[in-house]
Amino acid sequence: MRARAPLAPLFLLAIAIAADETPPREVTVTLAPGLPAAGAKLGYSSPRKLEIEATAPRFLIEIPKFKDPGPLFFRLSLGETKGIPYYGALDREEGKPHNLLYLDRDRDLDLTNDGPPVKANIRGLQTSEAKLVEFLDLRLSLPYLVDGKEVTETYACVLFFLSERPEEAPKAILVERDGWREGMVSLEGEEHRLVLVDDDSDGQFSTGDSWVLRPAATPKGEMLDTDATRSMLFPSWTKDQKWTVDVKSVDPAGRSATVRVSPAKETEMDYFLRVAQQRQTPEEKELNLDPLRPKASAEDKIDWITNKDADYALDIARTPKVQKPVLLEFWSPACPWCARMEQYTFRDRETVALAKRFVCSRIAFNKGTDDAKKYRVEGTPTYVIVGLDGAEIARHSGFLRPTDFAKWLKGALLR
C-alpha cells in the first residue's frame, strides 16, 4: 500500500504565500501649484457656464456711469466661498462686443471700488465671422477650510464668450480656471509626479475631478496631454504594472491628497477592458464593438453635404482649394443599420478624423433616382468612394464597425 504524501509542507507553503502578500498602504502627498514647461499648455479644465442677467441684483452697487445703457450682470461662485460670491458686470464700448469687465474683487457688493474695468482681448475665428471675447488672467483669491483652518489660494481665471454680432448680448459666459496641483510620491524607490486637475472649473478639488500619475522624468508635454488624464474614480498603474494607485481623498484647496498603493490584481488594459465591457449595452455587445475605442467629442462630427446629388459633391471636390475624393453615403431614415452607423461608427474618433480627408455627401436613397442607377445602389446603407475623375475607388454595402470602416477609408486613400 502506497504511503500518503505529507500534507504539512503544503499547508506551511500556503501560509508563507499568504504572509508574503503586501498589504495596501496609504501615502499623504503634499501638493503645490504646477508650472508648465516652456511651450507646454495646461489645456485640462472644462469651461463652466455662467448665466447672465440683464438687470443688476437689487443689492449690488452699480458703476455710476456705464458706457452701454444695458450692461449685463453675472455671479461667479468658486471654491468654498463663504457668504458672498463674486459679482461682475459686462459693459461695452460703441461698435464692440461686451469688452469691458467690472468684477467685485473684494466681494463687498460694490463695483465702484475695484479699479478700472478689464478690457477684453478680441480675436476673430477662422471658421466663422464670430469673435472670441476673452478676459485673461483674472487672479482671484479663494477661501477654503483645510483641517479645520481657513486657508486662501489665489488662482488665475479666464472669462470668455463668443460674439456673433457686437450689438447682441451673449446669453452666457464661460469661466476656466488654472486648477492644477502637483506633488511627488515615491513608489518602490522611484519618484512619480502626481497631478490633480480641477477639470470642471468649480474652484475646488474632489475625487470627481481628474488626475494623472507618471514617473518624475516624464516630459511635461506628456503630463499635460488630455489623453493621459483620467477621473480620480479610476486607479493608475506603475509602468511595470506591478502596483495600482488610487486617490482616496483630497482637500478642497488641493494642498494635499491621500493615495493608496496596492499590489496590482490585473493589468491596466484588462481593468479598463472589463469596466468598458460592463458598461456596454446589449446591442453594443451584439455588434462586437471595441469597448476601448475612443469616441469623438460632441462637437467633432462628420460634415455631411445633404439634400444634394452626387455631382454637387464632385464639383466641390474638384475645386482647386479642396481636391479630395468623395465619400457618398446612400441612406434612408427608415434604415436601422443606417442609424447604427450614425450612432456608433460615425461617432468614432478615428473615423471622424479620416472623414475630413473626403468630401462627404449623404444622399437619400430611392431606386428611381439617377444617382442610385449611376452608382448601382440596391439598398441601404451603401458607401461609394469616388475619385476626382468620377471613377469609383471603393464600395461597401451594409453596417461596418468603427474599426473596419476606418480601415476601409484608409485603404481607399492609398489607392
Q: Across residues 385-390, what is the average pLDDT? A: 95
- Please tell me whether the peptide bond between 47 and the residue prior to it is cis, using omega within 30 degrees of 0: no
pLDDT at 408: 96
pLDDT computed for residue 313 by the predictor: 95
> Side chain identity at 133, as an amino acid letter?
V
How far apart CA 158 and CA 4 sit, in angstroms, is 77
pLDDT given at position 394: 95
Q: Render pLDDT for 217-241 as a digit per residue (tens, 0 to 9).
A: 888 777 766 667 888 999 999 888 9
Q: What percent of the chain has pLDDT over 90?
A: 51
Structure pTM?
0.68
pLDDT band at 1 (very low <50, low <70, confident <90, very high): very low
Asked whether the predicted pLDDT for residue 43 surpasses 60, the reply is no
Q: Is the pLDDT of residue 192 over 80?
A: yes
Average pLDDT of the residues in 368-391: 94
Q: What would the mean pLDDT of 335-363 be, rounded to a whole number?
A: 96
What is the band of 27 on the pLDDT scale with cuts at 50, 70, 90? very high
Amino acid at 217: A
- CB 324, CB 359: distance < 8 Å: yes
Going along the chain from its start, the domains and CATH numbers come out as 23-43+180-269 (no CATH), 48-177 (no CATH), 305-414 (3.40.30.10)
The grid coordinates listed for 287 are: 455588434
Predicted local distance difference test score (pLDDT) of residue 128: 65
pLDDT tier at 36, thresholds 50, 70, 90: low
| Predicted confidence (pLDDT) at residue 18 exceeds the cutoff of 50 | no
Contacts of range 108-111, beta carbons closer than 8 Å, 24 or more positions apart: 108/84, 109/59, 109/60, 109/61, 109/84, 110/60, 110/61, 111/60, 111/61, 111/62, 111/63, 111/87
Distances (CA, A) of 346 to 99, 165, 293: 39, 33, 13
CB environment 9-34: b (16+ within 10 A), e (fewer): eeeeeeeeeeeeeeeeeeeebebeeb
Whether 140 shows a pLDDT value over 50: the answer reads yes
